Structures are given as structure tokens and as C-alpha cells.
């Protein structure tokens, strides 16, 4: 079976092609992968990169929207990998109450569009990818794999907000949670590399990138998470604030200091690591500035670590203690300084300081094997997790 995966970010599009696989597994590498990244200030300087097991390429292109980015990825994959997908699968950030992957039809399209108000950049990007898939391969079925689906197992006390009862019971105002594809993949890989039974362990998965979230995972099921009704709640992120006292936001609106539209922009684009440091949303740049003594960069890193330690401790409480702490995502995989500080701050939970070489790569255990809480780093591979779901979906439908 051949599966083509599209993974839309707010200003990027990743793709991967898994070819001639009878049964795709978590450790599989794609036959072709590609990515387009662009900046809002200079879309004409977008960068396209792609690779196969034997060759790679890169170049600049003029891309400022997701549909053209997805179309270019299809063109590049056709040219360099002669793709012939049996199914095209899409990461969809918000699926409301959808608990399983689904073949894209009119009902699923309506659900993705309905949820776009809560995750406008990501869901509309997924719809653009679906349009591009239809244009490139009109007869090939498409699948939607929802980031929120993994968190539909949250117990109601973890999912509900303490507003009026009808908010939760009737209106659907609840914690949906996000990064579910990554958290689910991370949990599976963690159990595999440690030789543990996923059904019998508790894990806190820390997905740390431009977007950041935690998941408390017990027996392979999400029982608590930090993101909520939208991807804005929870941890401090690259340019997103994470949780803020709603009273502060009401005060800013009531006193005319900011409109709702201005707050939406500020909280999503001008806050977090970028807003505190005044440098960048890229943690690598901010860590470098902090190392050189930049006070605001130091403050941004300190605040990020403080919020992360507190969040992991809260997730550990949701599972009555944990067996494994797993780091994933760009920061989780590469920022050894942050991992070390977090583990040190969680010593009271039984987390030991990492002992592995900080320059190592790949899925690996970085703490002592005899620690009360083992610590691992898992490379984020959402595309392979999406491909597995799409393959199973197509088999069931055939």
C-alpha cells in the first residue's frame, strides 16, 4: 500500500510518502519526504526541501498560502518519487468530538470547517491540502487524522471547565487537547524502546516545539493534557502565551486597552518565548542569547522552564505518579539545557538528571535505567503515525 501524508502547520507544510508497505510501523522511514516553510514577512523567500533515501534537494520558491504549498509538494513528489498513492492522509488539528480517523466525505469536511473557528490557521490549512489532493489525484480517497481524537478519552473532570454546567453538557465548551497524534506516537515509541508494556505504564509526554503541550498517558490513554478549547491554553510556547488569567484579558477589553481582535493577535503571535525575550520564537536563538547574558532571553528561558516543571508535576498527579517522562518536538529533542533543568526541577518526583551525551540523536533513554522515573527522547514523526492510521482505515473500508 502507498500512503501520501500532508501535515499542515501555520506557516509550513510537511509531506511524506510511504511506498509499497504491507504494514507500516512506527520505525518506518518514508520513500520521499518534503517540507515548505515560509515567513509572513517574505513569502517570496519560502524554502522547499525534499529527500529520498538516495538524494535530496532544496531551493527557494514564492509561496504564501497552504494550497499552493501543498500543490508544489505533490508536484515535487511526482517528479522525484513517481508517487502513486492509494490514499492521501491529512493531519487535522481540530476535530471537535471525532474520536477516530475518517475517510473525507461531506460530513467530515463539514466537521473540519465547523472546527475552523477554534483552530483557524490549521484547519483551513488542512482543507487547502484536501483541495490540493483532490486536484492532483481526483480518484484517490483521502483521510483525516485528528489531533484532538487522542484526548477524547479525558475523564470529564479533566475535560470540563468550571463554568456553568451547560457549557460542558450542552455547548461543548471543554478541553479538547491537541498534539494528540504526536503524544500517541511518543507513548508507543517510549514503550517500545524501553521494552515496557504500554498498557501497564504511566507516561508524561512533553511535546515541545513552537507549540507546546503535555499529556498524561495511563495505559496508552490520554487522561489529562495542557491545551484546551483551543491550542492557546497551557504551557508557554514559541509565540503563544499559554494560560493567562481571563480576568486580565477582560480588564484589557473593558478598559479599552485592547480589543478582542488585538488580544487574539497578541496572545497567538506576540507572546510566549518571542514576547518575553523580544528576540525570536525560535528557542535556539533565545538560548544562544541567554548564554551570552541577554537578560530578557534569560528571563524567557527561566519562565519557560518554570511553567514546564509545574505542568509536568500536574500531569504526574493526574496519573498518581509516572513511570516515564518523554521529551519530543524540536525543543524536546534538541535543547539539552532545558531537559536538564526540567529533570533537576522534578527530582522530588523521582526524575534523575540526564546522563546521556547531549549531542546524541534518535530515540533514546537519557537518564539512568534504575531511576524511579525513566527519561527518554523521542523524535517526532507525526507523518508515520498518520500513515499508519490511514492504512488501517483503508483496510477496514475495503
pLDDT of residue 294: 98
Question: Are 352 and 343 within 8 A, CB to CB?
Answer: yes
- Name the region of 82 (left: φ>0; alpha: ψ -120 to 50; beta: rest): left
Question: Does residue 358 surpass a pLDDT of 90?
Answer: no
Would the pLDDT of 281 be above 70? yes
What is the reported pLDDT for 63? 79
Confidence of residue 42 (pLDDT cuts 50, 70, 90): low
Cell of 218: 495511563
Q: Is the pTM of this model over 0.85?
A: yes
Residues constituting the chain: 398
CA–CA distance, 330 with 210 (Å, rounded to integer): 8
pLDDT of residue 43: 57
Contacts of 47 (CB under 8 A, 6+ apart): 36, 37, 38, 58, 59, 60, 61
Q: Please indicate whether residue 147 is annotated as part of the active site.
A: yes
| pLDDT tens-place string over residues 203-242 | 999 999 999 999 999 999 999 999 999 999 999 999 999 9
Query: How many CB atoms sit inside 10 A of residue 54's CB?
Result: 5
* CATH number assigned to the domain with residue range 3-146, chosen from the 4 options 3.40.720.10, 3.40.50.300, 3.20.20.10, 3.30.420.40: 3.30.420.40
**pLDDT tens column, 303-338:** 999 999 999 999 999 999 999 999 999 999 999 999
Give pLDDT, residue 37.
Answer: 85
Residue 138 confidence (pLDDT): 95
CATH 3.30.420.40 domain residues, the chain: 3-146, 195-377
Distance CA 164, CA 356 (A): 49
* Cα–Cα distance measured from residue 12 to residue 378, given in angstroms and rounded to the nearest whole number: 22
Please report the pLDDT score of residue 39 as a whole number.
62
DSSP 136: H
CA distance 66 to 120: 13
How far apart (Å, rounded) are the C-alpha atoms in residues 398 and 396? 6
Structural fold of domain 195-377: Nucleotidyltransferase; domain 5 (3.30.420)
Residue range 107-145, pLDDT digits in tens: 999 999 999 988 887 899 999 999 999 999 999 999 999
Is the pLDDT at 192 greater than 60? The verdict is yes
| Mean pLDDT (the chain, rounded) | 93
SS3 content of the chain, % helix, strand, coil (to 5): 45, 20, 35
pLDDT band per the 50, 70, 90 thresholds, residue 341: very high
Phi-psi region of 7 (alpha: psi -120 to 50; beta: other; left: phi over 0): beta
In contact, 81 and 65? CB cutoff 8 Å: no
pLDDT at 398: 74
Contact of 284 with 166, CB cutoff 8 Å: no
Contact status, residue 336 vs residue 364, Cβ threshold 8 Å = no
Which residue in 28, 147, 302, 363 is the catalytic one? 147
Q: Which of 283, 286, 285 is nearest to 298 (CA)?
A: 286
Amino acid at each position: 500500500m502507498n500512503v501520501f501524508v500532508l501535515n499542515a502547520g501555520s506557516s509550513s507544510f510537511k509531506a511524506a510518502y510511504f511506498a509499497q508497505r504491507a504494514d507500516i510501523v512506527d520505525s518506518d522511514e518514508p520513500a520521499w519526504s518534503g517540507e515548505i516553510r515560509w515567513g509572513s514577512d517574505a513569502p517570496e523567500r519560502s524554502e522547499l526541501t525534499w529527500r529520498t533515501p538516495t538524494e535530496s534537494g532544496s531551493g527557494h520558491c514564492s509561496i504564501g498560502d497552504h494550497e499552493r504549498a501543498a500543490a508544489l509538494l505533490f508536484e515535487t513528489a511526482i517528479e522525484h518519487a513517481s508517487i502513486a498513492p492509494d490514499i492521501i492522509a491529512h493531519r487535522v488539528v481540530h476535530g471537535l468530538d471525532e474520536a477516530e480517523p475518517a475517510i473525507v466525505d461531506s460530513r467530515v469536511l463539514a466537521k473540519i470547517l465547523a472546527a475552523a473557528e477554534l483552530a483557524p490557521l490549521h484547519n483551513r490549512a488542512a482543507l487547502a491540502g484536501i483541495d490540493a489532493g483532490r486536484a492532483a489525484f481526483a480518484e484517490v480517497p483521502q483521510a483525516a487524522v485528528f489531533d484532538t481524537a487522542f484526548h477524547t478519552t479525558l475523564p470529564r473532570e479533566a475535560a470540563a471547565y468550571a463554568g456553568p454546567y451547560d457549557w460542558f453538557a450542552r455547548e461543548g465548551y471543554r478541553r479538547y487537547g491537541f498534539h494528540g497524534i504526536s503524544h500517541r506516537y511518543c507513548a508507543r515509541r517510549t514503550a517500545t524502546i524501553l521494552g515496557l508494556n504500554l498498557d501497564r505504564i504511566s507516561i508524561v509526554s512533553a511535546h515541545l516545539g513552537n507549540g507546546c503541550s503535555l499529556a498524561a498517558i495511563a495505559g496508552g490513554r490520554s487522561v489529562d493534557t495542557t491545551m484546551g478549547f483551543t491550542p492557546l491554553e497551557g504551557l508557554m510556547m514559541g509565540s503563544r502565551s499559554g494560560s493567562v488569567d481571563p480576568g486580565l484579558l477582560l480588564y484589557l477589553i473593558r478598559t479599552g486597552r485592547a480589543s478582542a481582535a488585538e488580544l487574539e493577535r497578541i496572545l497567538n503571535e506576540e507572546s510566549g518565548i518571542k514576547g518575553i525575550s523580544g528576540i525570536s520564537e525560535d528557542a535556539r536563538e533565545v538560548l544562544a542569547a541567554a548564554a551570552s547574558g541577554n537578560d530578557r532571553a534569560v528571563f524567557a528561558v527561566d519562565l519557560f522552564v518554570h511553567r514546564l516543571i509545574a505542568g509536568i508535576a500536574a500531569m504526574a498527579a493526574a496519573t498518581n505518579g509516572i513511570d516515564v517522562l518523554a521529551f519530543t518536538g524540536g525543543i524536546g529533542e534538541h535543547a539539552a539545557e532545558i531537559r536538564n533543568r526540567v529533570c533537576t526541577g522534578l527530582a522530588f518526583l523521582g526524575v534523575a538528571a540526564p546522563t546521556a551525551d547531549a549531542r546524541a540523536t534518535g530515540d533514546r533513554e537519557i537518564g539512568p535505567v534504575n531511576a524511579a522515573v525513566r527519561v527518554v527522547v523521542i523524535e517526532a514523526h507525526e507523518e508515520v503515525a498518520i500513515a499508519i492510521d490511514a492504512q488501517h482505515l483503508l483496510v477496514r473500508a475495503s
